[in-house]
Amino acid sequence: MTTAELKKLLDRVQSWPEAAQDELVSIANQIESELRGDEYVATHEELRIIDAAMTSIDTGNVATDGEIEAAFAKFRRK
């Protein structure tokens, strides 16, 4: 992507809904952080989701091999 293309995209972004703009800013900040080599720090919401997933696994609530295969099959190229 050239600088001109990036500037055109950013001009178009101004007409996007606020939620979409916020998502773009969040993604761009993550990319910039990775480029700087910053250490990732999970948000409270991400940690809550991880804790819930671990609890689910600990109680035996996991996907079967068939369910996993079906999920991957959705994304495989045909």
Round to whole Å and give the CA distance between 26 and 31.
9
78 has pLDDT over 70: no
pLDDT, tens digit, 9 for 90 and up, residues 21-38 = 999 999 999 899 989 998
> Does residue 64 register a pLDDT over 80?
yes
Find how far residue 37's CA is from the centre of its chain.
18
**Is pLDDT of 48 > 70?**
yes
DSSP state of 16: S
Residue scoring higher pLDDT (77 or 41): 41
Q: What is the per-residue pLDDT for 65?
A: 93
